[in-house]
Amino acid sequence: MNIILMGCPGAGKGTQSAKLLQAFPLHHISTGDVLRAEIASGSPLGKQLGEIVNKGNLVPDELMVEMLEKIVKSTDKGIIFDGFPRTVPQAEALDTMMQRLHREITHVIMIDLPAQEVVNRICSRRQCKKCGAILRVDIKNPLEKCSACGGELYTRPDDTPERATHRLEVYRNSTLPVKNYYQNSGKYVEVNGNQTPEKVFEDITKILEK
Ligand code: AMP
C-alpha cells in the first residue's frame, strides 16, 4: 500500500498518519516534518526554508521532489505521503518517480473539512515537544502540558490566524487542483474530516481493507 493523505491544513493528516502507523506496517513521510527538521537544524538551507514555511508559502516543487525521492528510496515499506503532493507538478513528478521505482500509489484519501472549521482548528493546535502528539486545546483555557506524556507543548509558527488564513488560500489555489488530478484515477476517495479522529480513522481503515 502506498497512500496519499490529502486535505487542507488542519484536516487531521498528521493525526490520522499516527493512527495508521500503529495499525499498518507503513513508513510515514510528512514533508512538513522533514522541512521543520531542516529548519531546526539551522543549516543554510534550513534558513532559506524557514523564510518560506513560516510565512505559510510553498517550497519550490523541484526542491520538494528531490527531498522526497531520497526518502522514498530509503525504504522498502509501503508509504503514507502526508503533505505531498501539494501542487499538480508535484503529483506528476510523484507518478513518474513511482513508475521509475516500480511502485504504485494505491489510495488517494482526501480528508474533507469545511472551510469555517479550518482556522479554528489550526489556531487550537499544539504539538508535544517530547512525544510529538498533536493536541487541540481550548483557546480560552489552553493546556500547558501534553495530556499523553506531560511534555512541553508548542505552537507552530505558521499556526497563527493570519498565516492559517493565508495557508488556506494557498491550499485553494495550488493544492485543490491536485484533487482533480486524482479524481478519475479510480484511487481517489473522500472521508468526512468533521468527525472525531477515531471515526475518521474507522472510515479510512474501511477504505484500506476493501
Ligand atoms: P504541513 O506540516 O504539512 O502543514 O506543512 C507545513 C508547511 O511546510 C507548508 O505550509 C509549506 O510551507 C511546507 N510544505 C510542506 N509540504 C510541502 C510540499 N509538498 N510542497 C511545498 N511546501 C510544502
pLDDT at 143: 80
Domain encompassing residue 88: 3-113+164-208
- 86 catalytic? Reply is yes
22 assigned to some structural domain: yes
123 assigned to some structural domain: no
- 125 catalytic? Reply is yes
pLDDT at 175 over 80: yes
Ligand 1 centroid from CA 176, angstroms: 14
CATH number at residue 36: 3.40.50.300
pLDDT at 189: 97
User: Does residue 31 line the site of ligand 1, with CB under 6 A?
Assistant: yes
pLDDT band, residue 26 (cuts 50/70/90)? very high
Atom of ligand 1 nearest to the CA of 84: 19
User: Does residue 1 line the site of ligand 1, with CB under 6 A?
Assistant: no
pLDDT at 64: 97
139 assigned to some structural domain: no
pLDDT at 139 over 80: no
41 assigned to some structural domain: yes
Which residues on neighbouring strands pair with residue 153, listed in sequence order?
Answer: 128
CA 27 to chain CA mean position, Å = 14
20 assigned to some structural domain: yes
**Number of domains forming the structure of the chain:** 1
pLDDT at 150: 94
190 assigned to some structural domain: yes
**Mind listing the pLDDT tens digit for each residue in 36-50?**
999 999 999 999 999
User: Does residue 10 line the site of ligand 1, with CB under 6 A?
Assistant: no
102 assigned to some structural domain: yes
Ligand 1 centroid from CA 210, angstroms: 30
75 assigned to some structural domain: yes
User: Does residue 174 line the site of ligand 1, with CB under 6 A?
Assistant: no
pLDDT band, residue 192 (cuts 50/70/90)? very high
pTM value is 0.91
Q: What are the b/e assignments for 124-144, b being 16+ CB within 10 Å?
A: bbbbbeeeebbbbbeeeeeee
